[in-house]
């Protein structure tokens, strides 16, 4: 490994978004695997050999600085080290039936290795999903491992699916989609137009500049004003379970159509409808009239940041007055309030933590809301057939957040996950929260 002062590498501070993720890593370690971002996508229809896929990977890593970055320095104040070149290893996974190949036949780079994790008759996308789950199952080694794990699922001598698992320090959800888009194009072309967006190191440098500190200070001031509006949150009253944090996931065809119907009649997004519903239910749990929830914002509004491949998303604080004459009124309030809050989602997370801590333990926001759908289909959508399904999908012992709601899924079939501290909400309550969210929004869509 090169010395920090060597021209072969460059060290610099983390972006504010990376600092937020690092705080989450430290809080959840060694169970921070939940932060890994997995993407699976089919190869182009034109034949793609493993050699061509490997060349596209090489060009992808050369294109994006964040994919050539590791951490260095002390754990409590790490730096990002950018390398001029990098060669992340990749697996080649054969998808032929087990009878026609050695059990667990997987190649890494150019050399075959044994793996007991792939030994089923699954083919195509099903096998690719299995590989993605396996590659995402372990945390990254932040100082020694490149922040990208790759597998090519092969059938008939050609790549059929690509599996990417990204370290959250290298990419947020929007950046992951940009990486997938570039990889797809590189599988078809030999090159892409030069990047015009800022690099992670350039963003970090701006954030540490006088202008960046001014922006951070304004955001902190806004948050403190919003915290002053909020009602206290009562202490948790439940005995925590083991594991302490439990996730339940609901798949609902009805919720997607209902949220979009309410969005259409109020001229807002379906994400706003879901946020309003989530906060109304949160207020029912806490007894607050003025309730706050943190919302993930991708911070790519400026032209020079739209195509940034790094972690620059941060949280905005949305505070609502839950005492409204109707749910539609709450939705309209959430729309305007959220738009103002999104402008105040760039800040030094350590300075923010220090400022908010001084407010007092009883005045705090209730969890985090993250709509992970990159593109929302907010037109007319028919309700797909199928019943609502709710299942427990994960559990862990440590986490930085006591409550978070994730929205995803396919158009017409929404998927909502609720991850909560069992001291705040026992597992049956987590599942009921999701069902209540569906019930609230479906009923509101009918009125």
The pLDDT of residue 122 is 40
Mean pLDDT of the chain: 88
Residue-wise pLDDT for 392-402, tens only, equals 999 999 999 99
Per-residue pLDDT averaged across 323-332, rounded?
96
Chain center to CA of 246:
18
The pLDDT of residue 5 is 43
Instruction: Name the DSSP letter for residue 83.
Output: -
Report the greatest alpha carbon distance in the chain: 67
Please report, to the nearest 10 degrees, the dihedral formed by the alpha carbons of residues 302, 299, 290, 420 taken in order.
170
- Residue among 441, 438, 418, 439 nearest 430 (CA): 418
Asked if residues 411 and 256 have their Cβ atoms less than 8 Å apart, the reply is: yes
Residue-wise pLDDT for 360-381, tens only, equals 777 888 999 999 886 555 555 5
Residue-wise pLDDT for 8-67, tens only, equals 578 999 999 999 999 999 999 999 999 999 999 999 988 999 999 999 999 999 999 999
Chain center to CA of 129:
18
Q: Which helix (H) or strand (E) holds 68?
A: none
Q: CA 60, CA 62: separation in Å to the nearest integer?
A: 5
Q: CA 56, CA 190: separation in Å to the nearest integer?
A: 8
**DSSP bridge partners of 90:** 150
Asked if residues 392 and 250 have their Cβ atoms less than 8 Å apart, the reply is: no
Asked if residues 19 and 126 have their Cβ atoms less than 8 Å apart, the reply is: no
Asked if residues 302 and 273 have their Cβ atoms less than 8 Å apart, the reply is: no
- ∠ CA 56-109-115, rounded to 5°: 130
Q: How confident is the model at residue 120 (pLDDT cuts 50, 70, 90)?
A: very low
Q: How confident is the model at residue 96 (pLDDT cuts 50, 70, 90)?
A: low
**DSSP bridge partners of 38:** 165
Give yes or no for residue 430 having a pLDDT over 80: yes
The tally of CA atoms less than 13 A away on the side-chain side of residue 335 is 15
How much of the chain, in percent, has pLDDT values that exceed 70? 89
């Amino acid at each position: 490994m090169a010395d920090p002062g060597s021209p072969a590498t460059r060290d610099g501070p983390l972006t504010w978004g990376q600092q937020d993720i690092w705080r989450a890593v430290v809080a959840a370690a060694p169970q921070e695997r939940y932060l890994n971002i997995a993407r699976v996508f089919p190869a182009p229809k034109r034949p793609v050999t493993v050699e061509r896929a490997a060349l596209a990977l090489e060009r992808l890593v050369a294109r994006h600085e964040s994919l050539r970055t590791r951490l260095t320095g002390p754990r409590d104040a790490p730096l990002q080290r950018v390398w001029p070149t990098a060669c992340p290893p990749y697996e080649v996974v054969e998808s032929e039936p087990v009878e026609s190949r050695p059990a667990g036949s997987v190649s890494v780079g150019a050399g075959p290795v044994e793996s007991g994790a792939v030994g089923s008759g699954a083919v195509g996308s099903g096998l690719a999903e299995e590989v993605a789950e396996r590659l995402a199952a372990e945390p990254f080694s932040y100082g020694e491992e490149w922040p990208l794990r790759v597998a090519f699922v092969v059938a008939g001598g050609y790549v059929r699916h690509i599996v990417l698992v990204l370290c959250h320090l290298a990419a947020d959800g929007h950046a992951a989609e940009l990486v997938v888009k570039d990889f797809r194009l590189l599988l078809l072309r030999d090159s892409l137009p030069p990047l015009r967006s800022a690099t992670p190191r350039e963003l970090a440098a701006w954030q540490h500049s006088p202008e960046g500190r001014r922006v951070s200070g304004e955001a902190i001031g806004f948050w403190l004003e919003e915290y002053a509006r909020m009602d206290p949150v009562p202490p948790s009253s439940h005995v925590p379970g083991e594991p302490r944090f439990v996730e339940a996931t609901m798949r609902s065809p009805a919720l997607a159509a209902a949220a979009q119907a309410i969005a259409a009649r109020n001229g807002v997004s379906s994400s706003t409808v879901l946020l309003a519903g989530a906060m109304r239910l949160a207020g029912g749990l806490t007894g607050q009239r003025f309730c706050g929830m943190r919302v993930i914002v991708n911070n790519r509004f400026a032209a020079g940041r739209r195509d940034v491949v790094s972690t620059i998303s941060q949280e905005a604080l949305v505070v609502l007055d839950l005492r409204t004459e109707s749910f539609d009124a709450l939705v309209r309030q959430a729309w305007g309030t959220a738009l103002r809050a999104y402008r105040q989602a760039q800040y030094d997370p350590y300075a923010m933590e220090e400022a908010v801590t001084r407010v007092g333990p009883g005045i705090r926001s209730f969890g985090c809301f993250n709509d992970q759908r990159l593109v929302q289909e907010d037109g007319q959508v028919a309700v797909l057939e199928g019943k609502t399904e709710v299942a427990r999908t994960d559990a862990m012992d440590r986490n930085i957040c006591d409550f978070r709601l994730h929205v995803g899924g396919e158009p017409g079939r929404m998927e909502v996950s609720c991850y909560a501290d069992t001291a705040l909400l026992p597992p049956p309550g987590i599942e009921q929260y999701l069902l209540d969210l569906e019930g609230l929004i479906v009923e509101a869509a009918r009125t």
